[in-house]
Amino acid sequence: MSFILRTNEAPQSQRLARQALALAQQLNFSKGLVEAHFNMGYSFRALNQYDSAIYYSHKALDLSESIGNRYTQTRAYYNLARIYTEQGNYAAALGPSLDGLALARTIHNARAELFQLVQAGRIELALGEYTAANAHVIEASRLVPAAHDPLGTGYVQFALGDLSRQRGQWRAARHHYAQAAASYGLVYNARGLLPVELSQAEMTDRLGDHLAARQAAYGLLRRARATGTPEQVAQATLLLSQTWLATANPDSARHYATLSLRTAQPSTLRLEARDAALVLAQASDQLGQSHEAYRYQALAGVYTDSITGEATRRRVAALEAQAAR
């Protein structure tokens, strides 16, 4: 039950996972301990509580390996990769992603392989490895019929949207995000649909309809504050700042970008923090505040280096070479 509720009702999912963990510990039930630790890791990630998510995911990984539960082992790898990806720590994300993909292929599980392929593609996309990212996502799309899973279908469409977004193909990206939302809507409630709806609204803004994007973003921000996560609040306020910046309202842009940065920093959400700093730099420049503009530009540079800097690329290259061997 905890895993079923993981996205739609993350706080309730975590409460159930805690109960399951306590019961499994009381009974010394090995299989139950594996699943309970995995569900704890997943629920903490869904709430952007990453330190705890990493701890429980590593415990699930170790326990699943010790009892030979390779399916949950690949899920634990996936969760670790998602945690590090959400933090913008791609050097840390790629290792468990590749390990999880290799294991999913070994156990011949189409659903597990689909999710691992998409996750690997998203990491590569963020690092500028577009050819590899596209290859992994296209390979995942071929597994959709065998996976028999609307979440898998939605996940592939979401990734195809991200690929189109990276190419500047805003209309195509919005189409893929709409397809993802349609698939996710078969499973997710309003809370679960927030991420893909934020992406749809961003594409509306990119296509020049700033008013429609702003109206959508206000509604999404209200929902994110009521039932969402720090990541979603940071993304909604960031989108609002971008719509105001695009319509030459630097004061409003600065207000919402400041909210986004303040939300992103404590949760180590590097991508949102970087983008908020960039908006703050531009808004400050438009307001004639050159010192503030320089300060925020420098901050954005620090986040950029931590995400895709040379040290990260060297680490990723080493991991890819290791996987190739």
The answer to whether the beta carbons of residues 177 and 196 sit under 8 Å apart is yes
Alpha helices in the chain (DSSP H): 10-27, 30-46, 50-67, 70-86, 90-106, 110-126, 130-141, 144-147, 150-166, 170-184, 190-206, 210-227, 230-246, 250-264, 270-286, 290-308, 310-324
pLDDT band at 4 (very low <50, low <70, confident <90, very high): very low
The answer to whether the beta carbons of residues 93 and 84 sit under 8 Å apart is yes
* Nearby residues of 243 by Cβ (< 8 Å), 6 or more positions away: 205, 210, 211, 213, 214, 217
Question: Counting beta carbons within 10 angstroms of the beta carbon of residue 128, is it exposed (0 to 12), middle (13 to 18) or buried (19 or more)?
Answer: exposed
The pLDDT of residue 12 is 76
The answer to whether the beta carbons of residues 19 and 200 sit under 8 Å apart is no
Confidence check: pLDDT of 243 > 60: yes
* Nearby residues of 28 by Cβ (< 8 Å), 6 or more positions away: none
The answer to whether the beta carbons of residues 134 and 163 sit under 8 Å apart is yes
Mean pLDDT, residues 140-145: 96
Q: DSSP character for 48?
A: T
Mean pLDDT, residues 120-125: 93
Closest CA to 229 of 38, 7, 42: 7
Based on C-alpha coordinates, what's the Rg of the chain? 20
| Cut 0.85: pTM above it | yes
The pLDDT of residue 325 is 47
pLDDT band at 158 (very low <50, low <70, confident <90, very high): very high
Kindly state the helix (H) or strand (E) to which residue 187 belongs, with its residue range.
Answer: none
Confidence check: pLDDT of 205 > 50: yes
The pLDDT of residue 28 is 85
Question: Counting beta carbons within 10 angstroms of the beta carbon of residue 288, is it exposed (0 to 12), middle (13 to 18) or buried (19 or more)?
Answer: exposed
CATH number of 194-325: 1.25.40.10
The pLDDT of residue 18 is 84
Long-range contacts of 126-129 (CB under 8 A, 24+ apart): 126/85, 126/88, 126/90, 126/271, 126/307, 126/308, 127/90, 127/308, 127/312, 127/313, 127/316, 128/308
Amino acid of residue 146: A
What tens digit of pLDDT does each residue of 252-307 get? Answer: 999 999 999 999 999 889 999 999 999 999 999 999 999 999 999 999 999 998 88
The pLDDT of residue 247 is 97
Confidence check: pLDDT of 71 > 60: yes
Confidence check: pLDDT of 218 > 70: yes
